[in-house]
Structure 1
Amino acid sequence: MALSPSFLDELRLRTPLPGLIGRRARLTRSGRNWKACCPFHNEKSPSFYVYDDHYHCFGCGAHGDAVSFVMQSEGAGFMEAVERLAAEAGLDVPKPTPEAAARDRRARDLHAVMAAAQEAFTRRLHLPEGRPALDYLQRRGLTPETIRAFGLGWASGTRGAIAADLKPEGVETAQLLEAGLVREGEGGEAPRDFFFGRVIFPIRDRRGRVIAFGGRTLGDAQPKYVNSPETPLFSKRRALFGLDGAKEAAFRGARVIAVEGYMDVIALHQAGFGAAVAPLGTALTAEQMQELWRLTPEPVLCFDGDAAGARAAARAAELALTQLAPERTLRLATLPAGEDPDTLVGKGGPAAFQAVLDAAQPLSEALFTLIAGGRPPQTPEARAALRHRLAAAAATIPDKALASEYRSMLLDRFFTARARPGQKPKPPRIARAAPDPGQARSEGARCALAILIRHPWLLPQVEEALALLDLPEGPATRLRNALFAWLSGIETLDSAALIDHLAHTGESDALAWAMRPEGLPQAAQAEAQPKEAEEGWWHFFLLLRGEADLIEDQRAAERDWIATNDPGAALRLQRLTEAIAAQRRGEIEAVADTAATSP
């Protein structure tokens, strides 16, 4: 059965190659990529490299994508490999229905139609009728090589031109309509050209196939730019102009830059910035942001230096925060007032734009200014409102450890900004004496055990981790032993039954110690939700492990994840990484302080 290119693209997107290949080969970082000893031939030094969307062995020549790897490593057939990967990715393999086959044929046909249309537009650019468009492109500083590389063209001002150009290719009106090259006529009229008297910019997908066009008028007609309508090949929210070229340049190490328009991208490519892309006339979408992160973990977003540019930067930052993670972030670059990348490169050459890139700020540094605006708040009410906005912005970051880092950084900037010239700085806080470490450790152990007593369904999941803890001697160790003994001989994990068992087996005092209400977290309450109880237990487990032990646990979890690609190992690795970061920030001591001194 033939599978549609869109389905296979989605399958590859949902199957990260490092995780898949890491089950059979020990991967180590090599810059932005991974390397290993080839799983297909015996070698002592690594020559097998894993990239974003393919692998390649420089020793034996093995090469392919996720489907190829399963086929080569397991001897599976194509459909067997697809079905296995689809099951892991949560995708349904399309059924071989006549309708599906017809859609596949139409998609293949539409790619051919779009390729033919691009050739027709390019041919007209070099005819006498296209001379004004060619002059315009040359006045903008584009060389013949750049015009050819981007496939630029001209849509005739004669109605019916595209249909006439593609008729010898056997392209029918229905295909022109489906490809977005013509639109339905009004009042029974024949279909009309979608692009009429415009400079044409082909829009390509990651694989370099033309999926749509953009058109710019040479006169005063509005809108100045138009894009193809949504089609089976083209989704405006997902596409980026210049993506195919940027993918190759990013692979060679070029910095990925998102700018505003077609001409900005083309001018930057011509000036040597080959990983420039642009959204299609609108602000960046979540889908386009994901495409940028597929190219690089830290793309640069470039904005105008005026008020509109500041608003665009703020919108992009707000969107990025909801998708931010430790392994992916942004940098923000601001152009000089009145300039765009095209004009800046034209006046000052590549060095002028390179200076803008060099001055780009990490999102973490730019965010405070974007939220606070130009002037610091002057009244207590305004300062309180800003503080709430800063905290709310950090809270939108899904990764809790990263969100905590951003919150701390933003509030540090907030308090620093309050001490303006002429204003008395905020008096320092008087530090209170540190709590007794033994008491803090005892309270952490008590909270962890109380959570398990209220939610014993957690015991099978955390049994191994609980055994690793070096608990204080006395009621904590006695309760742990009692929990293990109860777990080995019980079928129903019921809190009331566990409490009754502890009360009647000589552990009444230890039970009373653990369940004393003062200082217990919400996770140790009977009404706590399962997710809240689970996260609460792991929180106290991580508090009770020393940093050296946590680092060793982290390494073991990483080895386990690389070897198995197991989601549980990935989650454990994430929690351990967060705990180590929190410990180094001093948050673990702060939490232990709170637990030890709670009334």
Structure 2
Amino acid sequence: MSLPPGFLDELRSRTSLAQVVGRKVMWDNRKSNQAKGDMWAPCPFHQEKSPSFHVDDRKGFYYCFGCHEKGDALSFVQATENVGFMEAVEILAREAGMTMPSRDPQAQQKADRRGLIAEVTEAAVAWYRMQLRAGSGGAARDYLDGRGLDEAAQERFEIGYAPNARQGAFQALKDKGHAPELIVAAGIASQPDDGGNPYDAFRDRIMFPIRDPRGRCIGFGGRAMDPNARAKYLNSRETELFDKGRALYNHGPAREAAGKGKPLIVAEGYMDVIALDRAGFTASVAPLGTAITESQLQLLWRISDEPVVALDGDRAGLQAALRLIDLALPLLEAGKSLRFCLMPEGQDPDDLIKARGARAMQDLLDSAQPMVNLLWQRETEGRSFDSPERRATLDKSLRSAVARIKDPSLKRHYGQALNDLRFQLFRAPRKGGTWTPSKGRNAPAAPMAQTRASVLAAGAMSDADMRHALILATLCLTPALIDRFERQIEQMAPANPDHARLAGILMATPHRDRDALAEALDRANLTPALETLLNLGHVRIAPWIRTPGDTEKAARCLAEEFAKLAARRGIQNEMTEALEDLDHTDEARLNWRLNHALHARQQADAPKTSDGAAPGEDEGALSRHLRDLIDGKAWVKKTR
């Protein structure tokens, strides 16, 4: 079976050789450099202990310095899986998400045709270069001189000129023996709909050849000399060779430079790439006049794990960056991300380098922001979060963005990073290791002292809520006691959501000291909740709260409060079970069970005497206290 032209090239571009080989070998981390795609391992083809098997992931080739085996991903799969060539293609295509083409008996003819089209584009490169040096190219030469592109730069990037003639390129290539229909197929000329003579696709434009990673010219980009031209930049139309959504300007040279350790920079246009290259940033590429596509993003990640996107310092540049975030989020994985370098207002890389030199460009690249920061900027810039509803909207949009990330580990780290940024936005300042009311613009007004300490402030709290508040406040001021009461904390189950979150933070804090706990509460945005606890009247008057530091007194308090909570849970459980068993239990037995549970609760609640005993209580009174509950249950039973 013959494969259609370009299928294997695309398959190789979508396949990571390091991932394919990594299924069969154990990489030597001391010798390998994953960031550069330079990987070493013991050879899978012969028995050895030293890592002599080398994989160049960027170029897609492997070589063993011991047994001299070499090849690409296809040959590796053939050798290790014991399959034929087409089976290896099918395996890799399936992993790359590509559909195997149906049998094409004309594949060879198509391949030959693509070769002829490539010859036409190469002939066009030479002809455009010649026109730039001719008399008709004078204005174009002046423009390039004004942009600082000397002869060496023009030669390096093969810049040419398309004269303002209807059939200049078409006639010249036809005279050199190229078939008219191939000149049209290459995108050098266009065929009128009425079937008339072809005309040049590019006229009065500076021409930038676009080459694939192998160095073959596949199309052109043309910049208009006329400032009133309908399109400032014009790309070749899509042809059998050229797909602008799957190509990058300066791809091959940038890949080679990135392999030598240069940072990969993604600029917006041809002139930016040329300016960056001349300033020493030789691993620079550009999409072809449109927003970066998914295919282009995958090509970038094949060159470098973390390309730096350098966009123009205007609204359009920022919008392009934000669109790229939406494209990249579902494709992110560990070790594959983006950084963003936004130019100063109104400047592109070419302008910046001319005005301030390569050092200024390097400084901006060094301070490039990770993608999570730009995501945060997009969701928060120019917006106010002075109400719960607005904060909830922010939370929803952030959750929606993070949910698009497929890698579970990366999703978790993004969530944590955004939580930290959210905390910085809404944080309550602390002074000297103590919690103080927030004074930020989003903070609610602090309650008056007389209200804060009043019965009114605690009146809406249940008995259990008040005990939970005292326990949590005590533990926050003496976190060294957390381990001693770990089991009791787990059993608390506070009804108040803030109390429940505080209890969770206490159990999760790895270091039992106040500073570590304070940081954990800050990150969880629970500092205000703790402030509220410390200012409750029944908490504030506790001596171990007024003068923290007496650990033993605090421990005795916690033991008593936990005992009271346990007794309440006991009576509640006993009452629930007893009332549910009313159909099967006589009233005397029921009275005994409930009185026994209430006795235990009152012993826990009663103040201790000097000998540690609690005063007695009237069990008959306790029985009368439950009469209504029992009668109510019986009444419900009779009315069913």
Q: TM-score by structure 1 length?
A: 0.67
Is 49-58 or 33-42 further displaced after alignment?
Answer: 33-42
Give the root-mean-square deviation of aligned CA atoms.
3.4
- 1:368 counterpart = 2:373: no
CA displacement 1:430-468 (0-9 Å, x = unmatched)? 78979967999xxxxxxxxxxxxxxxxxxxxxxxxxxxx
Change in CA separation of 1:334 and 1:159 when aligned onto 2, cut-off 3 Å:
same
Q: Distance in 1 between matches of 2:358 and 2:329?
A: 31
2:53 paired residue number: 48
1:274 paired residue number: 282
Query: Radius of gyration: which is bigger?
Result: 2
CA displacement 1:506-559 (0-9 Å, x = unmatched)? xxxxxxxxxxxxxxxxxxxxxxxxxxxxxxxxxxxxxxxxxxxxxxxxxxxxxx
Instruction: Return the match for 1:193 from 200, 208, 217.
Output: 200
2:121 paired residue number: 114
The one-letter code sitting in structure 2 at the alignment partner of 1:16 is S
Change in CA separation of 1:37 and 1:422 when aligned onto 2, cut-off 3 Å:
closer
The number of aligned residues is 446
The one-letter code sitting in structure 1 at the alignment partner of 2:373 is E
2:416 paired residue number: 408
2:635 paired residue number: none
Is 319-328 or 262-271 further displaced after alignment?
Answer: 319-328
1:535 paired residue number: none
1:301 paired residue number: 309
- Deviation (angstroms), 1:67: 2.6
1:158 paired residue number: 165
What is the DSSP-based 3-state SS (H/G/I as helix, E as strand, rest coil) of the residue aligned with 2:169? Answer: helix
The one-letter code sitting in structure 1 at the alignment partner of 2:315 is A
Instruction: Return the match for 2:153 from 125, 146, 152.
Output: 146
What is the DSSP-based 3-state SS (H/G/I as helix, E as strand, rest coil) of the residue aligned with 2:258? Answer: helix
The answer on whether the counterparts of 2:53 and 2:65 sit within 8 Å (CA) in structure 1 is: yes
Q: Distance in 1 between matches of 2:378 and 2:27?
A: 40
Q: Distance in 2 between matches of 1:363 and 1:91?
A: 28
Q: Distance in 2 between matches of 1:307 and 1:437?
A: 56
What is the DSSP-based 3-state SS (H/G/I as helix, E as strand, rest coil) of the residue aligned with 2:230? Answer: coil
Change in CA separation of 1:293 and 1:85 when aligned onto 2, cut-off 3 Å:
closer
- Deviation (angstroms), 1:384: 2.2
- 1:333 counterpart = 2:341: yes
- 1:67 counterpart = 2:69: no
- Deviation (angstroms), 1:296: 1.0
- Deviation (angstroms), 1:381: 2.9
Change in CA separation of 1:47 and 1:151 when aligned onto 2, cut-off 3 Å:
farther
- 1:250 counterpart = 2:258: yes
The answer on whether the counterparts of 2:190 and 2:200 sit within 8 Å (CA) in structure 1 is: yes
The one-letter code sitting in structure 2 at the alignment partner of 1:143 is D
1:16 paired residue number: 16
Q: Distance in 2 between matches of 1:242 and 1:184?
A: 29
Q: Distance in 2 between matches of 1:40 and 1:160?
A: 58
Change in CA separation of 1:20 and 1:311 when aligned onto 2, cut-off 3 Å:
closer
- Deviation (angstroms), 1:109: 1.7
Could you tell me which runs of 5 or more consecutive residues in structure 1 were left unpaired when the two chains were aligned: 441-584, 587-596
- Deviation (angstroms), 1:408: 2.7
The answer on whether the counterparts of 1:390 and 1:411 sit within 8 Å (CA) in structure 2 is: no
Change in CA separation of 1:169 and 1:49 when aligned onto 2, cut-off 3 Å:
farther
Q: 1:127-526 to 2 correspondence within 5 Å?
A: 127-220=134-227, 221-419=229-427, 422-423=440-441
2:33 paired residue number: 31
The answer on whether the counterparts of 2:308 and 2:339 sit within 8 Å (CA) in structure 1 is: yes
What is the DSSP-based 3-state SS (H/G/I as helix, E as strand, rest coil) of the residue aligned with 1:237? Answer: helix
- Deviation (angstroms), 1:140: 1.0
Change in CA separation of 1:421 and 1:260 when aligned onto 2, cut-off 3 Å:
farther
- Deviation (angstroms), 1:183: 1.3
Change in CA separation of 1:422 and 1:110 when aligned onto 2, cut-off 3 Å:
same
The one-letter code sitting in structure 2 at the alignment partner of 1:295 is I
Is 157-166 or 293-302 further displaced after alignment?
Answer: 157-166
What is the DSSP-based 3-state SS (H/G/I as helix, E as strand, rest coil) of the residue aligned with 1:98? Answer: coil
- Deviation (angstroms), 1:57: 4.0
CA displacement 1:51-87 (0-9 Å, x = unmatched)? 2222234566654322343566688775565466556
Q: Distance in 1 between matches of 2:71 and 2:190?
A: 40
1:512 paired residue number: none
Change in CA separation of 1:399 and 1:73 when aligned onto 2, cut-off 3 Å:
closer
1:520 paired residue number: none
Q: Distance in 2 between matches of 1:90 and 1:328?
A: 18
CA displacement 1:16-66 (0-9 Å, x = unmatched)? 322433455433341123112345567664343212222234566654322
The answer on whether the counterparts of 2:13 and 2:302 sit within 8 Å (CA) in structure 1 is: no
- Deviation (angstroms), 1:93: 5.5
